[in-house]
Structure 1
Amino acid sequence: MKIHFIAIGGSAMHNLAIALYQKGYQITGSDDTIHDPSKSRLAKYNLLPEEFGWFPRKITSDLDAIILGMHAKKDNPELLKAQELGLKIYSYPEFLYEQSKDKTRVVIGGSHGKTTITSMILHVLNYHDREVDYMVGAQLDGFETMVKLTEENEFIVLEGDEYLSSPIDRRPKFHLYKPNIALLSGIAWDHINVFPTFENYVEQFSIFTDSLTNGGIMVYNEEDEEVKRVVEESSHPIKKYPYITPKYFIDNGTTFIETEEGDLPLEIFGEHNLQNLAGAKWICQHMGIEEDEFYEAIVSFKGASKRLEKIAENNSTVIFKDFAHSPSKVNATTTAVKNQYSEREVLACLELHTYSSLNAEFLAEYKGALDDADKAVVFYSPHAVKIKQLDEVTEQQIAQAFERDDLIIYTNPQEFKEFLFNQDLENKAVLLMSSGNYGGLDFNEVKSLV
């Protein structure tokens, strides 16, 4: 098959392009800009466009399909040409479903934790040499790409994102997969530029629950009130398997989980991660992994990239980088670090970077999110607010939202960097939370602080 990717440089899109190339498809693509790691990965397989931009001449009638990325706009010249020619146009979740119609589809959904849970499942399966197809939103140790597609594998494990599928398909991605086995980890309002009310957002998870195949399996976090309500109120004919946080304790900076196999030390920590582990265990058991096999493998799981990722450590200092940006994630991550390093001072730095986090009305959701930090810093770029065409957010609004009198606020990247690099990090745990980079912070430089 000949397939052209419009916006090939996206994190999921470029991985799908590579996976299809490895499957023997003829792949071309376009994008207006591509950054690393996408750029170097595409170049490795000779899939990097020769020049950046949109070129309608690339769209020809001999193409079998177009895969359209969310980064493209409705009036994209290549998209308009494809529509004019009547070519088959897929969003990437729609195409993944086409590739997996004859497989057992396992879909991991939730506002938070889905990348980590998917990563845990893949780690355990890989440890036991169980071959599966997959799509996950983070780079994992032992996996070259984030997407794998074969003809022969029985299972496909998919991270189920609730964001929109493409510029011309406004359905949430996870509505398209029709799972045989699914998981819901938690529901906390996000993507307010698409889902303007909490009720509208929650409704997407109800639709997801009812999209399971008849007789399918739903594993769900019953400690999350909204998840519990959504799943247990569903009259769809599915089997329901609740999970809760397993028993654990922290000893000398290491988290131990209590099991029938004994107390097992983990590389990960935090109640949210232990909940994720409990959900991943249920899914693995439904995929044929015995409980003792799961525990044997999970003790070596170090986490997904940018999810409480330890980037530097010595005897008195530890620095973590985390993707957390929504209020529930910020709260859970900050609490986890404080609990794990209770004898140390926690310095938590949060960048407000997304549409939701920079929305003046949404800011109130951050109340108390940084309370467990001994010192709390918020960075945001007024320039980013303008680029996103949002109403101006003031430092006073941010201070009021977090309800923390000693909150430190920076809007200048250089001033934030100087603050960070002038801190005495003796007996400190530093947490850098962002889906961005604080206006250009070099994390390799940050490592040199330790």
Structure 2
Amino acid sequence: MLNKQTKVHFIAVGGAVMHNLALALSKKGFLVTGSDDEIYEPAKTRLANAGILPAENGWFPEKITADLDAIILGMHAKKDNPELAKAIELGLKVYSFPEYVYEQTKNKQRVVIAGSHGKTSITSIILHVLAYYNRNFDYLVGAQIEGFDLMVKLTEDAPIVIIEGDEYLSSAIEMKSKFLFYHPHIMLLSGVAWDHFNVFPTFDKYVGAFEELADGMDKAGVIVFDETDDIVKVIGEKDRADIVKVPYAAHPYLVDNGKVFLKTKNGNVELKIFGEHNMKNLMGAKHILERLGITEEQFYEAIQTFKGASKRLETLGQNANTHIYRDFAHAPSKVGATTQATKELYGARKLVACYELHTFSSLNKDFLPQYDQKLQDADVAVVFYSPHTLKMKNMPEISEEEIVKYFGRSDLKVITDSEGLRKFLGEINWFQTNLLLMSSGTFGGTDLNTLSAEILALPVEETFPEIETAPKSKKWGGLLGNLKGKLKKDK
């Protein structure tokens, strides 16, 4: 007798991770249906290609029938969702996204990567190395990674699963951090820096979620943690019965004219990623992979081809004078680390760093002081925010003067519309100058690829503006002077 086909319905199927889980379960042979009040690209096309795109947007209680094996509720769906009400009325089992992932991975070795920053990059490194050696594994990651068609993979036979553990809430009826449902055998904690202000109104509550994750590990578990982060070190070093503690710091490295090399006992290993924060990410991933049977030599071979996760210090374009990067950075700690890394890579070039205040936390006046000095490594610092976004989020207005104060730079340029940003960037002399664009949004609807092409096509004047115009960056003055002298000698 054939096994009954598992039937699963998604409420809010259009979300980035939700639609990837729907695709993964469909690929596994489940009968998948879903609903949502709005579905955007690329989810729309991907669901359509798999034959599981809802016929129309909206909520339809008639889709909720007694023969469904599970309802998966996305964070986008509210408590009064009519499909949710019907599911509860019928007594159906309603799972949040992480609860259902756990149900599908109960018999696997679960590795969870958690932290305020770095978790997507660390998870991506682990996946890249395992795939390089054709290991059989399942995964859940928060970004699209080159070489992987989905952000979620769930199979019957993979012995391990690598999970990016998000601290954000699970669903409207399960107000717990997602990572608390995964019950890891091996856990990595990369850093704790206050984020998700709308969910964790105090720093103590935010830290408490990570402590609960670590305290909830079963005996014989392993905690890998960044010992250079003061909060993480306290959590990681806490005595827990039969838990192995593995601290790590940045892997030794060197930077040479835009190239980065790991320093190893067998010589230098060239990388395609850069920045001290990524050297920490890489070292944490290395420890996890050692636990999964990857040797040091194997790791160094595989890591050379890792290009980084999507929208994490991603190259938009470059020419002889200018390299343009984009990054998803939205929390203060990520802004600081990303700016520092980009400046370090090309220390002799000027750096123009543009950051968009886009999330609820970043636009909240009580949270904004967390950004103090986070753009200090940029020679020219720009903060972009849209007053329209504030209205849409029903938040109080913020003045340009307040933004300058919160970021701690008197020379900060504040821009509030996309045309103003394009005009400002278009007037810069991009000779030996790089651009870093940081946002989880689009700078007011700006096509960043088009903007990048426009900047790279601008004529440049071979002059060296005084570095003193950026008081936070005087340490780079000597390097710039050395470059100036070198170019004159070359002529």
Whether TM-score is above 0.5 comes out as yes
Contact 2:118 2:281 (8 Å CA) reproduced: yes
Q: What's the CA shift for 1:84?
A: 1.2
5 Å-filtered alignment, 1:34-433, equals 34-433=39-438
Between the aligned partners of 2:452 and 2:56, the Cα distance in structure 1 is 35
Contact 1:2 1:25 (8 Å CA) reproduced: yes
Between the aligned partners of 1:426 and 1:143, the Cα distance in structure 2 is 37
Between the aligned partners of 2:54 and 2:145, the Cα distance in structure 1 is 26
Secondary structure of the corresponding residue to residue 432 of structure 1:
strand
Q: What's the CA shift for 1:447?
A: 3.2
TM-score, scaled to structure 2: 0.90
Contact 1:206 1:234 (8 Å CA) reproduced: no
Q: What's the CA shift for 1:423?
A: 3.0
Secondary structure of the corresponding residue to residue 398 of structure 1:
helix
Between the aligned partners of 1:60 and 1:410, the Cα distance in structure 2 is 51
Between the aligned partners of 2:427 and 2:352, the Cα distance in structure 1 is 13
Moved more, 105-114 or 203-212: 203-212
Between the aligned partners of 1:363 and 1:33, the Cα distance in structure 2 is 31
Q: 1:26 aligned to 2:9?
A: no
Q: What's the CA shift for 1:420?
A: 2.6
Between the aligned partners of 2:92 and 2:386, the Cα distance in structure 1 is 41
Q: What's the CA shift for 1:392?
A: 2.0
Give identity over the alignment, percent: 56
Q: What's the CA shift for 1:421?
A: 3.5
State the one-letter code of the partner of 1:283: I
Segments of 4+ in structure 1 off by > 6 A?
Answer: none
Secondary structure of the corresponding residue to residue 235 of structure 2:
helix
Q: What's the CA shift for 1:160?
A: 0.3
Secondary structure of the corresponding residue to residue 445 of structure 1:
helix
Between the aligned partners of 1:215 and 1:114, the Cα distance in structure 2 is 23
Between the aligned partners of 2:71 and 2:256, the Cα distance in structure 1 is 53
Q: What's the CA shift for 1:302?
A: 0.6
Contact 2:224 2:236 (8 Å CA) reproduced: no
Between the aligned partners of 2:166 and 2:324, the Cα distance in structure 1 is 28
Secondary structure of the corresponding residue to residue 448 of structure 1:
helix
Contact 1:108 1:118 (8 Å CA) reproduced: yes
After superposition, the C-alpha distances for 1:243-273 in whole angstroms (9 at most, x for unaligned) are 1111111112101111122111110000000
After superposition, the C-alpha distances for 1:53-108 in whole angstroms (9 at most, x for unaligned) are 11111111111111000011111111111111111100110000000000000000
Rg comparison, structure with higher value: 2
Contact 1:410 1:416 (8 Å CA) reproduced: yes
Contact 2:315 2:324 (8 Å CA) reproduced: yes
Paired residue total: 450
Between the aligned partners of 2:167 and 2:329, the Cα distance in structure 1 is 17
Contact 2:422 2:451 (8 Å CA) reproduced: no
After superposition, the C-alpha distances for 1:279-304 in whole angstroms (9 at most, x for unaligned) are 00000010111111011000111100
Q: What's the CA shift for 1:234?
A: 4.2
Q: What's the CA shift for 1:236?
A: 4.4
State the one-letter code of the partner of 1:245: A
Contact 2:105 2:161 (8 Å CA) reproduced: yes
Moved more, 242-251 or 103-112: 242-251
* Structure 2 residue ranges without an equivalent (≥5): 1-5, 457-491
Between the aligned partners of 1:32 and 1:234, the Cα distance in structure 2 is 47
State the one-letter code of the partner of 1:11: A
Between the aligned partners of 1:158 and 1:414, the Cα distance in structure 2 is 40
Q: What's the CA shift for 1:44?
A: 1.3
Match of 2:447 in 1: 442
